[in-house]
Chain A
Amino acid sequence: MAFISIKNVCFSYAEETDPQLHVNAVDGVSLDVNKGEFVAVIGHNGCGKSTLAKHLNAMLLPDSGKVYVDGDDTADEQKTWDIREKVGLVLQNPDNQLVASIVEEDVAFGPENLGVDPKEIRQRVDNALKAVGMYEYRTHAPYKLSGGQKQRVAIAGILAIQPKCIVLDEPTAMLDPSGRNEVMSTLLKLNKEDGITVVLITHYMDEAVLADRVVVMDSGKVLTEGTPDEVFSQVELLKKHRLDVPQAAELAYRLRGCGVKIDRIPLKREDCVKLLEEAIK
């Protein structure tokens, strides 16, 4: 069984009293996340991707369907804290998830809640801060850090719990480009070097391009999924749902429309240049 297995999940925030307005925020989603994978979930605001994220660590429970984490049903109250230890959730606003006034004390918050031995907490905190490249800032006050730095501290706070999987709900939406780069390279490193499973909810397609697998959501449903190449080559479908595609992909797609023969849809700058060069020759 996959590490996280989502089976036909429906969820609605609306009150039962008004069936007319009853809209499922998540509407019959089935999805597997394997150990060590880097999965990006993209879609518009309100497409249900954030609601789905909160299902992965039992912050929300499905109205119908099931979510299994490492074989455990998230609806099983006995397992709630085990699940939150295995799947850490990082939220959008970095300011609102740092709870202590000193960086290292904030990172310690998770293991402290788990009752970990003080010496081991120290170890975990140092390791987590090193993993996100914020060790030098361990005695700083969070409010003096940049957005990207704060978000890396938030990630360290989750890492110190030693989860198998990190789910991030639009962690870069409030950051500037350099903050976004910091967070993305941190996530890639955690995934590639430390083998942590990453589920990244985002609306930036240039971040999704870096994932192993991309899931596109629309109106609570999975629109399409696959490798970045597979997903972003469906330029027409994405455009129809007014989602972004990399400019490289759009250019190749449009040139095809003009009758130019390009056999692949490129996502990256170098690849696109190469293909165009071939096409011109």
Chain B
Amino acid sequence: MSCILELKNLGFTYGKGTPFEKRAVNNVNLKINKGEFIGIIGHTGSGKSTLVQMLNGLIRPTDGQVFLDGKDIWEEPKQIRNVRFRVGMVFQYPEYQLFEETVYKDIAFGAINKGLTGDELDRAVRSAAKFAGVKENHLEKSPFDLSGGEKRRAAIAGVIAMEPDVLVLDEPTAGLDPMGREILLSQIVNYHKTRGNTVILVSHTMEDIARVADRIIVMNKSELVTFDDTKKVFAKGDMLSKIGLQVPQITNIMQDLKQRGFDVPDGVLTVDEAVAVLAPLMKREGATW
């Protein structure tokens, strides 16, 4: 597997040299491979937002480097905009960034900035709209006439339309209801599968992360705590609760069963898995039904 993003001794201090100095990210080293689905967890103030904003050069690290495809993104500071097209960033509540007259134009904004024109632009906009679940007949509407969930999808499409190699989403499902969350999440998974691009998802909702991520970055107090396979991370339930993160209920239930001496594996993340493990166990051990 080839590495797309590499962070070397990456750090950031807010207000460096002032009395208000604050270390937000400290000495992070990691490698992310092409096509991976990465989850980032950590509670508010753990440094995860600062970390992801360094990936596309919105924040310039005060120490260390970010390598995109082996090249330091700050080698030529004047070219930093090009990095932003390659590492697309969807912020929390992205619907508040919409400003164009039509949804179509708004989705096209980033792609036009990137330099796409004509058919290429049209194709990029329409395919992004499809990935994000923006309805065809909404494209000519004003973005301000859409519902909250539809606005969010339009905003996400605006980043996908730049055709980035890496898509970073910061809390994309925040504030949505369960159905909206479910639909958006499956759209992101579908995008990841179809395009085969790298996706980095920052989320508080452990159930979501558990379901979709290949590997998980755990941040706490400006430090990288762990970066490992999803199953292995969630198997460390104690460590996660110690830093104030909640493990999915199902994982806890299975962990409890294991501790009581039942033969169940570590790091069960979804109800599907749990059913698959438990159903045969119960029948075999002679439950009455």
Contacts and interface: CB of A to CB of B under 8 A. Distances in A.
Interface residues of A, number: 36
B175 A242 contact: no
B282 interface: yes
Contacts of A118: none
Contacts of B281: 280
Nearest to A43: B177
A276 B282 CA distance: 9
A276 B257 contact: yes
Interface string B246-289: 10111011001100101000000001001100110111010111
A233 B283 CA distance: 23
Interface string A232-253: 0000000000111011101100
Contact of A260 (B174, B176, B260, B287): B287
A280 B262 contact: yes
B8 interface: no
A44 B179 contact: yes
Interface stretch (A21-29, A127-135, A156-164, A169-177): A169-177
Contacts, number: 99
Interface residues of B, number: 39
B43 interface: yes
B252 A255 contact: no
A46 interface: yes
B178 A244 contact: yes
Interface in A206-250: 242-244, 246-248, 250
A67 B204 CA distance: 38
Interface in A162-208: 173-174, 176-179, 203, 205
B288 A261 contact: yes
A90 B44 CA distance: 23
Contacts of B274: 251
B257 A247 contact: no
A242 B260 CA distance: 34
A203 B177 contact: yes
Given A177-B246, A273-B256, A273-B257, A281 B279 contact: no
Given A258-B279, A279-B287, A273 B260 contact: yes
B84 to A, nearest CB: 26
A264 interface: no
B252 A260 contact: no
Nearest to B93: A174
B207 interface: yes
Contacts of B179: 44, 242-243
B285 A281 contact: yes
B178 to A, nearest CB: 4
B289 A259 contact: yes
11 contacts: A44-B179, A44-B180, A45-B148, A146-B44, A178-B244, A251-B275, A251-B278, A261-B289, A269-B249, A276-B278, A277-B257
Given A242-B179, A248-B249, A259-B283, 15 more contacts: A45-B180, A147-B44, A176-B204, A203-B178, A243-B179, A246-B249, A247-B207, A248-B253, A254-B271, A261-B288, A269-B252, A269-B253, A273-B260, A277-B260, A280-B281
Interface of B: 43-44, 147-149, 174-180, 182, 204, 207, 244-246, 248-250, 252-253, 256-257, 260, 262, 271, 274-275, 278-279, 281-283, 285, 287-289
Instruction: List the 8 closest A-B pairs by CB distance, nearest first.
Output: A244-B178, A258-B279, A247-B250, A247-B249, A203-B177, A242-B179, A273-B256, A259-B289
